[in-house]
Every structure is written in C-alpha cells, then in structure tokens.
Structure 1
Amino acid sequence: MRDTDLIGGFAKGLKIIEAFGEAQPRLSIAEAAKETGLDRATARRCLLTLAQLGYADYDGKYFSLTPRILRLGYAYLSATPLPHIVQPFLDRLSEEVGQSASVSVLDGTDIVYVARASQKRVMSINLMPGSRLPAYCASMGRVLLAALPETEARALIEAAPRQAFTPRTKTEIAELMTELQGVREKGHAVIDQELELGLCSIAVPLFGVKGRVVAALNIGAPAAHVPAAEMAERYLSVMQGVAGQLRPLLQ
C-alpha cells in the first residue's frame, strides 16, 4: 500500500477512539493528545468530530464514548462467523469443566476476545467479547504468537509495552521467545499468574480447514483451585477434543 492511499485524518481518529478504555473512560483533550502522541489541536478536532457524529459525549472538559461506538465493533462480530460457530462449543466446555472458557484472535500486539462462556469471574476485569489483553503474557496470546514465523513473533513482542503485571510476568524478549518455542513443541500454553495473581490459564490453537491457526481457545481457573502444574492434566485433552470438533467448521 502506498502512503498516498492512506487517509491521515481517519487514522488519527481511530487512534483517538483506541485511547479510551476501562482505565480511562473519560479523556480531556490534553490527556487524549498525550495518550495518542497527537498534538492538542489534532486531538481536539478528532474528539469534537466524534462528539458531533454522536460517537462521544462532551461535558465541556471531558469526552466519553457513547453506545453508538459499539456499531464499529458489532460490524466485525456480525460479519465474521467465528463467534457464532464457537459459542455453543464454549458453553458446553465451560459447563463440563466448571471454569470459564474463551476464544480470541490476534490483533497486533494484543489478543481480542471474540467469544466467552463464564462460569465465574476469575479476573478483576470483566472479560467479554471485544476485551483486549497483551498477547505476550496471555495463554491465548502465546499460542497465537507461536503460530507466527519466529521473526514476526519477535517483532510483535519487541513492539509491545511489556509491563510486569505481577512478579511472575515474563517480560524479557529472550525468555518470551523461549516460551514460544515451548508452545510450538507442546502444542499448548500455560500461564501461571502472569496477568493477575491468583489466575492460571491454558490455551490451545484452533486450526481451520486449511491447516492454519485462526484463533485460540483457553480455560482460566483460580490458582488456589487448579495450580498451573495441573492445568494440562485436567483440561488439555477435553480442549483438544473441542479444537478437533471445530476444525472442519473454521475457515
């Protein structure tokens, strides 16, 4: 793609939208500029445009997104069959194992949840379709990164702001690349309280009919009930069974 094919203003508007999140549901012009790296004048124009079009509210100082913004995410969820295909399988899996189960896809340095069946809330944040987590320290993220060519996976890890969410979070590039190699060899990833203390998870890849990894499936459990060392023994077989059932249904 040539630079002349890009619409700069549109790209800047998307950066402003992505600056909002659970930790910052309201942004001033100065805060939006700081979060996006845009100058204040550009951030102001983008925010006022969103407000004019009904995608944001403005109280004179702070902007906040309106429910209208959900149209953008719903366009993807309604256009792709993946959530509709996997949801019944997730519901049955979650009921069978008594834990939450999810499916996500890779989006840059993050994973994005596309479907979820929740038995209980195992994280302090409320995960749902559309939720994002850093790929480098999530079980589904490591499965999806491991499916990429090594150079591409390394580039994404290098580009990620590798924050240590807990004392157990792996952030060093060499250590993460070793983890990915282990995922390729074992065919699954286990996370031991790297995203949040008290949470363990296990993930497997979901292959499509053409043999490529199209998504990842995971089960999350409280570490006090299921230690990381027991995750594979308890859940791997049933998860691989679900992945096998889904394979002929996924493109």
Structure 2
Amino acid sequence: MFTTSHHKPLSWPQSSRLTSIPVCGEWGHRMGRAGVRCRMTKLREQDAERRKAADLGPDFSEALARGLAVINAFNERASQMTLSDVARAVDLPKATTRRAIMTLQHLGYIEADGRLFRLSPSVLKLAAAYLSSNAISTILQPACERLAQICQESTSAAVFEHGEVVMIARALPANALPLGIGIGFRLPAYCSALGRVLLSARSDADIDEYLSGAKIDRQTPHTIIAVSALKAEIVHVRDVGYSYANQEAEYGYHSVAVPLRKFDGSIVAALHIGSRIERVSADRMLGEFRERLEQTARDLQPLLI
C-alpha cells in the first residue's frame, strides 16, 4: 500500500506485471526497494548510449528500427516464432517486442496463429515498392528471364549492399525447381562471382577495408579465405572483366559473372549464370555463357541511365 501527497490509499495488485510498469522519480525509488524495477529509464539510457556510440543523431527512430528488426528476424529457419523467440532474436525486452509485433500485426505485416507469429504476404509490398521504383531491377528482370531460357540455367542480377550481394532480379528455366533463392537473397561478396565483380568496381582502399572487416569463412573446401589471395583475385577480375567462382560459395555449384555498366561506364550491378558442375562444364561456362552475359551487358548499358 502506497499513499499520495493527499494521503489517499493506493493499492497495487499482487502481480508479476508490476515489474514492467515504467515509474521513475520518488515512486520509482520506493517501488525499486519493493523489488519493482524502473525499466523504461534503463532502456532509454541504453538507447541513448547506442545512438551516441553509432553516431545516429537525434532524428534516429528507435521504434521504427525495432519494427524493422522484428521483420528481419523471420527467415527460412525461423518462419514462425513465439513472442519469446522474437524477443531473443532481436535482443529486446518482451514488452518492447510485443508492442512492435502488435503494431506490425495491426498494419497487416504480421499474422498470428495462436502463440506463433509469422510474416504476412503484405511484407512483399515493401519489396515491391523498391522493385517498382528502381528502373535497374525493372530492366534486368526480363534480361535474366531471356538468358535463363536460352541457357537453361539460373540467371541473377545483384547489387552490393553492406558487404553482401543482394539479388534484385532472378530467373530460372521453365523446368527448374526453385530452391529458396530469389529476389532479396543475400550472398557473401568475397566468395561469389557476383560479389567479386561488384568488389572489383571499388577502389583498392575500399577493397582493403572490406577484406579487413569482413567475416571470411570457408563456405566449402574450395573457398579462398586468405586475404592476400582474395585481393589478388578481385584485382584480376577488374583486369579481365569477369569472375568465375568454382564451388566457393556452394559445394557442387559454379558460376560466371560480368559487370553491368551505366551509360557513363560506372558499374551499377552484376549479372551471372550459375549451374551444377555436372550439368555445365567449366569450358562452356567460361566460353558460351560468359559471351552471352557480356553481350547482354552491352545491350543493357544504354538503358541503364
């Protein structure tokens, strides 16, 4: 029992929910002695410290960042999660995570099935907004589809973002089974043909900075992980104008990629064809497929303004 300054009795229910009530000042001090923690103040202090450390500035919206983090927590390994699962994935308190989930559910981006939550198809509107407003991806999708039908192998176009390769267009031959790799799929840049083409467009200083900060793991027994060897390979790609990766990103899979240049010659994306090694020989990949990619890149250059 607590009393106000007017000495009116104020009763608190005996419930564990008290532990998440955001109270501060004198009441917070008194309730803290009773085992009630002043969480809101602590979270705000942590957020302020994080903003300061990351130099995010006063205009950075923590609420928006948390909502996007919740969306990005779902993936092929975690397509459905409980509230506790999501909270652990985004490293936020359950109360904060619940508010983000309820907001996203109200907006139609998350669906609930009992205690489980999953993304709804409405999330695709976010990707559609990018694809419809990005002239490059709009131009590249038909080109990928033509190459996929001619070569009867998967074809993709990608850009470089935050040290990774992000696919913005992808096509498969008519008889191929999709394997979960599609638009928005990300690959490590250092071990993929697409990534090395995109890295080759950067300055030597930028390449060194990327290699020094990237988490370089051996994806397969064939993956090059020595920084000096990777730097030499990227420079070689810059010199020859294409990249060939043989089972470095995925065992049993090889691919060839070429740069896509704008009208002014600057590289804006990369285009590749990939196949299982038993389906297409290295000679055909580096011969016929590379030539088709290079011709497609020349055809596209006047369109990439």
Give the alignment's TM-score, normalised by structure 2.
0.73
Structure 1 match to 2:186: 132
Structure 2 match to 1:31: 85
Structure 1 match to 2:37: none
> Does 1:81 pair with 2:135?
yes
Residue 250 of structure 1: CA displacement? 0.2
In the alignment, the residues of structure 1 paired with residue 80 and residue 269 of structure 2 have an alpha-carbon distance, to the nearest angstrom, of: 32
Residue 211 of structure 1: CA displacement? 1.7
Residue 102 of structure 1: CA displacement? 1.3
In the alignment, the residues of structure 2 paired with residue 21 and residue 157 of structure 1 have an alpha-carbon distance, to the nearest angstrom, of: 27
The CA RMSD measured in Å over matched residues stands at 2.4
In the alignment, the residues of structure 2 paired with residue 34 and residue 28 of structure 1 have an alpha-carbon distance, to the nearest angstrom, of: 10
CA contact (8 A) 2:152 2:172 kept: no
CA gap 1:67/1:235 in 2 versus in 1, 3 angstroms: same
Residue 159 of structure 2: which of 90, 97, 105 is its match?
A: 105
Larger-gyration structure (1/2): 2
Residue 90 of structure 1: CA displacement? 2.3
Classify the secondary structure of the residue corresponding to 2:190.
Answer: helix
Structure 2 match to 1:164: 218
Residue 65 of structure 2: which of 1, 7, 11 is its match?
A: 11
Question: Deviations 1:23-74 (Å, cap 9, x if unpaired)?
Answer: 2212333333343344444333322321222211233433210001111110
CA contact (8 A) 1:16 1:46 kept: yes
In the alignment, the residues of structure 1 paired with residue 105 and residue 212 of structure 2 have an alpha-carbon distance, to the nearest angstrom, of: 35
Structure 1 match to 2:99: 45
CA gap 1:166/1:14 in 2 versus in 1, 3 angstroms: same
In the alignment, the residues of structure 2 paired with residue 121 and residue 162 of structure 1 have an alpha-carbon distance, to the nearest angstrom, of: 31
Residue 157 of structure 1: CA displacement? 4.2
Question: Deviations 1:211-245 (Å, cap 9, x if unpaired)?
Answer: 21111100011111324465212322221111111
Write the mapping of 1:207-246 to structure 2, written as runs, cut at 5 A.
207-228=261-282, 230-246=284-300
More deviation, 30-39/71-80: 30-39
In the alignment, the residues of structure 2 paired with residue 64 and residue 115 of structure 1 have an alpha-carbon distance, to the nearest angstrom, of: 25
In the alignment, the residues of structure 1 paired with residue 233 and residue 101 of structure 2 have an alpha-carbon distance, to the nearest angstrom, of: 41
Structure 1 match to 2:171: 117
CA gap 1:134/1:56 in 2 versus in 1, 3 angstroms: same
CA gap 1:92/1:53 in 2 versus in 1, 3 angstroms: closer
Give the counterpart letter for 1:27 in structure 2.
M
Structure 2 match to 1:72: 126
CA contact (8 A) 1:32 1:43 kept: yes
Write the mapping of 1:45-64 to structure 2, written as runs, cut at 5 A.
45-64=99-118
Give the counterpart letter for 1:64 in structure 2.
R
More deviation, 198-207/233-242: 233-242
In the alignment, the residues of structure 2 paired with residue 165 and residue 244 of structure 1 have an alpha-carbon distance, to the nearest angstrom, of: 32
In the alignment, the residues of structure 2 paired with residue 196 and residue 104 of structure 1 have an alpha-carbon distance, to the nearest angstrom, of: 17
Residue 176 of structure 1: CA displacement? 2.5
**Structure 1: gaps spanning 5 or more residues:** none
Structure 2 match to 1:183: 237
CA contact (8 A) 1:191 1:228 kept: no
In the alignment, the residues of structure 2 paired with residue 47 and residue 114 of structure 1 have an alpha-carbon distance, to the nearest angstrom, of: 27
In the alignment, the residues of structure 2 paired with residue 155 and residue 29 of structure 1 have an alpha-carbon distance, to the nearest angstrom, of: 38
Classify the secondary structure of the residue corresponding to 2:160.
Answer: strand
Structure 1 match to 2:51: none
Q: Matched residue pairs, number?
A: 250
CA contact (8 A) 1:106 1:112 kept: yes
More deviation, 67-76/19-28: 19-28
More deviation, 224-233/127-136: 224-233
RCO higher in 1 or 2 (8 Å CA, sep ≥ 6)?
1
Residue 147 of structure 1: CA displacement? 1.1
Classify the secondary structure of the residue corresponding to 2:58.
Answer: helix
CA gap 1:99/1:72 in 2 versus in 1, 3 angstroms: same
In the alignment, the residues of structure 1 paired with residue 301 and residue 278 of structure 2 have an alpha-carbon distance, to the nearest angstrom, of: 33
In the alignment, the residues of structure 2 paired with residue 235 and residue 22 of structure 1 have an alpha-carbon distance, to the nearest angstrom, of: 31
